Chains A and B, each alone.
Chain A
Amino acid sequence: MTLPRRAHPRPLDIASGRVDLTHGGGGRAMAQLVDELFVAAFDNEALNQRNDQAAFDVPGGRMVMTTDGYVISPLFFPGGDIGSLAVHGTVNDVAMAGAVPLSLSAGFIIEEGFPLADLKRIVESMAAASKQAGVPVVTGDTKVVEKGKGDGLFITTAGIGMVPPGVEISGDRARPGDAILISGTMGDHGVAVMSQRESLGFESDILSDSAALHTLVAAMVAERPGMRVLRDPTRGGLAATLNEIAGQSGVGMLIEEAKVPVRAAVRGACELLGLDPLYVANEGKLICICPPEDAEALLAVMRAHPLGADAARIGTCDADPHHFVRMTTAMGGTRVVDWLAGEQLPRIC
């Protein structure tokens, strides 16, 4: 058989194609849109690193900048809301460069008719999350669109931070032999949001894991500044994020199904909905790739932090020339853990 020679066998159909939901799903279709349109157009060194944030030198050190848009539906979900999620997600994107987050911005795109009480609740939740994280929202923007031209409320953010000297964390630095660690259970956020969609009507006590991870990252950086990659497995879940890193770094990966922690309630809900927890979004977890000799020390630091209590080593990077992420199943067989095709859960963040 012939393996695809390019990442995307068929180029984007610019002439007659249209954007569909898969282009926002965190899978290969989105990666293609980003590669062939945005990266091609904006082409520059910082962007071409293809991380969730850009790192660049400024007088006085190395700065990190990120931006994010929040379109989650419903706006309120067990364990959070669009406001706290926007703070956590942005802080995390800054922190995943090993950086100390400093300031956030927030843009509100509000649909005419949106209840002020809901807006107040969201803004106060955002303020509380920002205060708790110690990262202030220092500037903002407000826009209102006519009824029917938006869906309640969208929030866009930016975040900046500074990278401590000597830290060089990037998605392209994984090497064969490196250990793959995750900070806790997979799939909580996606399942918590899904449980609130009225069409599903199942009840669960699963809370979103939405949380700011910068203090966990700071503890890890203090222990082992030589970590190679940090990334939060949000849209597309663990599977998509590992594939991104494998592609960026040019390595393969082998993980063990039995080592990936998943809550029983999340497994149950996924079973019912026909989802795979490896593809379900997280908002308070990170993946760490580090030299094998650092793995135990980092796991100890993670487990000592409240947001890393269930941390585990799930696998190892290898030199697979095809950059496959493979998994040893609990049955003892092996399979590919591929990108998600299509859109599993629209508007999860």
Chain B
Amino acid sequence: MKYIDEFRDGEIARRLAAAIAAEADPGRDYHLMEFCGGHTHAISRYGLEDLLPANVRMVHGPGCPVCVLPIGRLDAALWLARQPGVILCTYGDMLRVPGSKRVSLLKAKAEGSDIRMVYSTMDALKLAEANPERQVVFFAIGFETTTPPTAVAIRQAEARGLANFSVFCNHVLTPSAITQILDSPEVRELGTVTLDGFIGPAHVSTIIGSQPYEYFAEEYAKPVVIAGFEPLDVMQAVRMLVAQVNDGRHQVENEFSRAVTRHGNEKAKALVAEVFELRKSFEWRGLGVVPYSALRIKEAYGRFDAERRWDVPQDSPPDTKACECGAILRGVKKPADCKLFGTVCTPENPMGSCMVSAEGACAAHWTYGRFRDA
């Protein structure tokens, strides 16, 4: 595949690995957090940790949209799916995450709720058009990458006069999550988590650009390298971060220059700004309540907002006791540190969200890396 194979070349990977090994200072450790689940997945799927020297360690971040959604919001989606006449549709990974009482959307579907997996927001609109007597609710999740398609769907629903379509909006924002991690006691005061630099998001950055990261690179003195999701992108970004750490620099650098500009996709940003506004606060799994970290639908499009159409429950039940997803999402613990990992929590029977999506740290380690623990 052109433009893909070039970034999966094993020979170049070995050369980059040799360069990283030569350039990393054996007298220190490098703890680099990949924020995005896409990077976590690439690191595990291609076995990239095998290519890095022992003192260059990757810390998995919270950038997996399915993982950070708190149980309360999932319970609310389950509640919506049970309302009379409702068809709830969402992206595939969301279906397997257990809510409270271990009921997932997939199980609710088997119990009779009408829940459909869609590949795009346009499929959700088609469902609404094909079922005029039903209420179609799109359970919208994700970071800045999936937000513009949701905005398009709402605009389209308005243009087509679809009165039976609404969105349960759970879109969240990357920069506020990174700031929350850097402000966490483990990083700031306790020193239990060392973070020497960040691999910045790929697809998110194509929308928001590299500029939003400049604030915390400067404020928190942490280098950021925005990188693509291909294995060579990750290796190159690691090399660039090692160089910044060695030089004592903390800049935003862009490895993913084939897709990311400083200001991002202006058209998409304008569309999002037209349809959505900031929530004052939003609960994240693992990170707690984070101020100004999520979006809701503006008043002008309020008739497409499921939270205005129904009195959606606002409970926030706690995670399963002993589930370490929270600490894992903050980079404080590793999957194998969790007592549930691989015993009662597996991808078939996930207890926590990190075991669900292929981008979740636990699922990635279970699926691709657990032979190392054996």
Contact = CB atoms under 8 A, between A and B. Distances in A.
Interface size class of A (residues with CB under 8 A): 35 or more
A264 B1 CA distance: 6
A335 B369 contact: yes
B367 A336 contact: yes
B47 A331 contact: yes
A329 B47 contact: yes
A341 B373 CA distance: 20
Nearest to B341: A1
B231 A331 contact: yes
Q: Which of B126, B346, B366, B373 has the most CB of A within 10 A?
A: B346
Contacts of B366: 338
B119 A3 contact: no
Given A1-B336, A21-B106, A9 B346 contact: yes
A2 B343 contact: yes
Interface in A295-349: 320-322, 324, 326, 328-336, 338, 341-342
Nearest to A268: B1
A267 B347 CA distance: 24
A32 B348 contact: yes
A333 B96 CA distance: 29
A230 to B, nearest CB: 26
B348 A29 contact: yes
B99 to A, nearest CB: 15
Q: Is the interface of A mostly helix, strand, loop or mixed?
A: loop
B342 A331 contact: no
Interface string B49-79: 1110000000000000000000000000000
B368 interface: yes
A200 B126 CA distance: 12
Given A21-B106, A335-B44, A336-B368, A330 B8 contact: yes
A44 interface: no
Contacts of A27: 348
A333 B347 contact: no
B349 interface: yes
Interface string B350-374: 0000000000000100111111011
A335 B347 contact: no
Contacts of A10: 344, 349
Interface string B94-108: 011000000000110
A4 B45 contact: no
Interface residues of B, number: 45
Interface string B39-51: 0000011111111
A341 B14 CA distance: 31
A19 interface: yes
B118 interface: yes
B13 interface: yes
B241 to A, nearest CB: 19
B46 A331 contact: yes
A262 B184 CA distance: 45
Nearest to A267: B1
A324 B370 CA distance: 9
B190 interface: no
B26 interface: no
B185 interface: no
Interface in A1-30: 1-4, 8-10, 18-22, 27-29
Given A1-B373, A271-B1, A331-B8, 18 more contacts: A3-B374, A32-B348, A199-B118, A199-B119, A267-B4, A321-B374, A329-B46, A331-B46, A335-B45, A335-B369, A335-B371, A336-B370, A336-B371, A338-B347, A338-B368, A341-B348, A341-B363, A342-B96
Interface of A: 1-4, 8-10, 18-22, 27-29, 32, 199-200, 258, 264, 267-268, 271, 273, 320-322, 324, 326, 328-336, 338, 341-342
